[in-house]
Amino acid sequence: MSLMDFLQSAATALGGNPEQQVDHVAQNAPEGALGQLLAGAFRSDQTPAFGNMVGELFGQSSGAQQAGLLNQLLATLGPAALAGAAGGALGNLLQPGATQVTPAQASQLTPAQVQEIAAHAEQAHPGVIDQIADFYAQHPTLVKTIGSAALAIALARFKEHQQG
């Protein structure tokens, strides 16, 4: 069964409920499918901006997930590229020479600051969207917090992409 067939059967079987479809994709789809779906939502002009969605996800995340997100951004762009974002909020947390954020440090940032950091990261390196989508794909329960409308749009865009 192709990925497109899989998504179509999921949409039919689950009655168009985006949260259930995300669960189904996370549990049954080929590896990487949920990341692709989430990247589609991040890139869509029908959903909030990437930074906004990442800030929202950050606000719903555990301390470990928050640190994981920030560490993914740091690994992709490096501390120097992000040090000045959001008024230097992330740079102020890191000790000189540090490349990792702890959950305690991550909890000191607000979702609004992370929104600015993510937007800055996207401008500096558009491929960061795929990296962050893959990170959050490891946390499907959290992905469902971006809202039914964004998930429905992401599923539709993902299906279109697979057909094209």
Alpha helices per DSSP H over the chain: 3-13, 18-28, 33-43, 50-60, 63-77, 79-82, 85-93, 103-106, 111-124, 128-137, 140-143, 148-163
pLDDT value of residue 28: 63
pLDDT for res 1: 34
* Mean pLDDT, the chain, integer: 78
- Asked if residues 36 and 158 have their Cβ atoms less than 8 Å apart, the reply is yes
Q: Encoding tokens for residue 142?
A: 């959290």
Residue 90 in contact with residue 117, Cβ under 8 Å? Answer: yes
pLDDT of residue 161: 57
Please write the tens of the pLDDT for every residue from 82-116: 888 888 888 888 878 778 999 999 999 999 999 99
The answer to whether the beta carbons of residues 77 and 128 sit under 8 Å apart is yes
Interval 10-46: pLDDT, tens = 444 445 555 566 566 656 666 677 788 788 888 888 8
